[in-house]
Structure 1
């Protein structure tokens, strides 16, 4: 490894991470990872590991990581939605130009129900936004 290691390491897991403090200042010059906390990104909970007290530096580093992680996840969510729009377009092209009758029979009902459900939600949400906008004026 080249360069200097960070002071903290966050092992990502479902809904959060396990937080380790990195130590290379030991006699063997090996990397020691000391678990200091478990965090839940959804509810903001930080659980110190092993009854330890987290320093203000620990807490600030954890809060900064959580903020950055939430921003990354939000960015990924919207990217996934843009990708879904592309898939819908590709699916339309496939259905129009490449799909066999058997393939269409296999997916048509599922696609129609999913699209109907999505359309219902989008129309309702759009109406809610328009009503709110109208009330705010």
Structure 2
């Protein structure tokens, strides 16, 4: 590892991360990671690990990471939706050109219900936006 290590390491978990302070300034010159907190992205909670008290710098770095992480997750969400649109198009092409009768029988009901549910939600949300005057269409 030629580059200088960061002062903090965030081990991503399902709803946030475990936060570690990284230390290489010890006698053995080994990397030591000392857990200092656990954070929850969904509710914004920062819990010090054990009986620790987090410094203002610790809190500032953790809050900056949480903000950056929320932006990353939001970008991933919308990217996943764009992929879903592509996948729906590929599914349509598959159903039209390559699917066997047995394959169609296997997936048709599930696809129709999922698409009906999605359509219902999208139509309702679009109507809400139009009625509130915030529609961009």
TM interval, shorter chain, is over 0.9
Gapped regions of structure 2 (runs ≥ 5):
none
**Which residue in 2 is equivalent to 1:23?**
23
Note the alpha carbon deviations across 1:13-60, whole angstroms, 9 max, x for none: 010000000000000000010000000010000000111110000000
Alpha-carbon distance between aligned partners in 1 of 2:102 and 2:3, rounded to the nearest angstrom: 57
**TM-score, normalisation: structure 1:** 0.96
**TM-score, normalisation: structure 2:** 0.96
Q: Cα distance, 1:3 vs. partner?
A: 1.0
Q: Cα distance, 1:66 vs. partner?
A: 0.1
**Equivalent residue of 2:12, what SS?**
strand
Alpha-carbon distance between aligned partners in 2 of 1:121 and 1:44, rounded to the nearest angstrom: 28
Note the alpha carbon deviations across 1:112-136, whole angstroms, 9 max, x for none: 00000000000000000000008xx
Task: Confirm whether residue 83 of structure 1 aligns to residue 83 of structure 2.
Answer: yes
Alpha-carbon distance between aligned partners in 1 of 2:89 and 2:68, rounded to the nearest angstrom: 32
**Which residue in 2 is equivalent to 1:108?**
108
Gapped regions of structure 1 (runs ≥ 5):
none
**Equivalent residue of 1:35, what SS?**
strand
Alpha-carbon distance between aligned partners in 1 of 2:50 and 2:101, rounded to the nearest angstrom: 61
**Which residue in 2 is equivalent to 1:32?**
32
**Which residue in 2 is equivalent to 1:128?**
128
Q: Which residues in structure 2 correspond to 1:3-82 (within 5 Å)? A: 3-82=3-82
**Equivalent residue of 2:35, what SS?**
strand
The count of aligned residue pairs is 134
